[in-house]
Chains A and B, each alone.
Chain A
Amino acid sequence: MSVDTATVRHIAKLARIAMSDADIDALVPELNNILGWVEQLAAVDTEGVEPLTAVIDQKLRLRDDIIDDGNIRDEVLANAPDAQHGFFAVPKVIE
């Protein structure tokens, strides 16, 4: 499998990274190089092998249903590029 300009443009859109045509053109061979290299895995026999789900065998712990967080609006908003009236502000979204 290899990627072309249109695919890379689509991926950049999915990843929300603005790219010029020149950026895209430069990335096509780079990504193909890496993808070509990782594709060697296709040759590995994984018949009947389960994908790894936990690196170290352990079970998910569950938390008690206790309110022990929140009420820290100032901390939550402290680093915001644009906070207004207790909200994060973003360019108007039309739904």
Chain B
Amino acid sequence: MVNDYRIQGDTGEWEVVIGLEVHAQVVSNAKLFSGAATAFGAEPNTQVSLVDAAMPGMLPVPNRECIRQAVRTGMAIDAKINRWSRFDRKNYFYADLPQGYQISQLYHPLVGEGAVTVLLDEKDEGSARTIGVERIHVEQDAGKLMHDQHPTMSYVDLNRSGVALMEIVSRPDMRSPGEAGAYLRKLRAILRYVGSCDGNMEEGSMRADVNVSVRRVGGPGEKEAELGTRTETKNVNSVRFVMAVIEHEARRQVELIEEGGAVAQETRLFDPDKGVTRTLRSKEDAHDYRYFPDPDLLPLELEDEFLAACRASLPELPDAKRKRYEGLGITAYNAAVLTADVESANYFDNLLDGLQRPEFAPDAANWVISELFGMLNRTGRDISKSPISVRQAAELLSLIADGTISKTIAKQVSELMLDENSGHFGDDPTRIVETRGLKQTSDTGQIDARIDEILAANTDKVAQYKAGKEALFGFFVGQTMKAMAGKANPAVLNERLRAKLAA
């Protein structure tokens, strides 16, 4: 069990305690406090207003959409939404921070306590763990420094400066790299469902500060109050790296303590190439951020109407959707896979809508996961670029459901639709079935004729079957189907075969 993650030290067993602070970039056209664009990848300093460059006398005016998205995110994790919140200044000097302070929320965050439930094992409801979220606050991103453009100078690009971030702070509720990974993936899924963050970790839209401490199993310190000294590893930008940081940090801390040393409360950086963390700054030269309410901004007060609109705009969320799918007879595992990401869930929902046969949902789920996802994986395609559109998938599945083609033929048809060299890439399934003559037949004359041939050619097996080796029935089915090029209606074939063998 992932829950039992333990570090084996020389002096005993250790438990690891993990908290994550996730910075998620809010999806918005313009920045949190200015009208400059937020798009990724623009020419340096082109998406910068005078406000973002902190010119003298420039003032912040907050973007409603950024507030709305953070509120919706809070609602999606059942968090308390604070109707009265406030922006504070976090003061420190750095070349990527033009104002000399970051506008953030320390004392009165927009979103209070909430929770995220994760399944450590997708097939097992019993593996559910609830990770507390302490708060979500809204703040500005900093600019970007480039160090490799000039031998003695660093270059400053302020395009990111002022972009809205949600800082989602978890409680120290995680106990293994796996749990942290599951939490991050689930959080990312929720953000993408809500549409408040695109979750693109490569472009830095989501990154985590990883807080890690260790304590002896069974020793004093099982309660939250008795946590070990923690380190914070900043800006880790993939789920894999977050898990690597935890493993490395936990082991490093255990070794340090067992050697008689002490963990220093400090900020660390992860080196993905070496897979290790190193000190960025120690507590002694930690910043004194001198937080205080931003006097350029009034307190943020939210109206009922605004909150109601935020709530009304929330989509069905992953957990609810999974339950609904399971209610349609879809297996727990399939439901988990389909709801893991908003794009596949949307695809599947649209497919169900097009199919209009809820009783066929489990088969549809099987087809999507084993056929479509399998093929997309092999060809390295994203679901958003699936060559089989939702409409085509619904059409294909309808053909199975109404008995026009068999599942075997359906598999053939999907392969043709997904193969760029098949001559049928992107074609409608009905067309493929027609032009290739793949329609299944219930013509008993044809089926009987084939059965007779197969039985005649296998008299020995017929004798064995009649002597009680009933497992051979499948063999006769397979042979007949093969002879019919897969096109026989399986129900009719079964019935006729049974009748002939009984005769």
Contacts and interface: CB of A to CB of B under 8 A. Distances in A.
Contact of A53 (B43, B151, B293): B293
Contact of B67 (A16, A62, A72, A77): A62
B480 to A, nearest CB: 64
Contact of B145 (A64, A75, A86, A93): A93
A85 B36 contact: no
Contacts of A66: 29-30, 35
Contacts of B288: 14
A62 B156 contact: no
Contacts of A91: 152-154
A64 B64 contact: yes
A70 B36 contact: yes
Contacts of B29: 65-67
A87 B154 CA distance: 9
B299 A60 contact: yes
A81 to B, nearest CB: 12
B243 to A, nearest CB: 23
B146 interface: yes
B49 A70 contact: yes
A90 B53 contact: no
Contacts of B86: 53
A60 B35 contact: no
A95 interface: yes
A66 B154 CA distance: 32
Nearest to B34: A69
Contact of B30 (A65, A71, A86, A92): A65
Contact of A67 (B36, B149, B152, B301): B36
A68 interface: yes
Interface string B118-148: 0000000000000000000000000001110
Contacts of B156: 87-90
Interface residues of A, number: 36
Contacts of A46: none
Contact of A71 (B46, B63, B65, B145): B46
Contact of A77 (B45, B63, B154): B45
Nearest to A77: B45
Given A76-B45, A90-B153, A90-B154, A70 B290 contact: no
Contact of A72 (B30, B43, B49, B61): B49
Contacts of A64: 63-65
B483 interface: no
Interface string B284-307: 000010100100011111000000
Nearest to B85: A60
B301 A60 contact: yes
B404 interface: no
B47 interface: yes
A65 B150 contact: no
Given A70-B52, A72-B50, A90-B156, 10 more contacts: A54-B299, A58-B298, A61-B61, A63-B30, A65-B63, A66-B29, A70-B36, A70-B46, A88-B45, A92-B151
Interface of B: 28-30, 34-37, 43-53, 61-67, 86, 93, 95, 145-147, 149-158, 269, 280, 288, 290, 293, 297-301
What are the 6 A-B residue pairs with the smallest beta carbon separation, nearest first? A70-B36, A65-B65, A69-B35, A87-B155, A62-B64, A69-B49
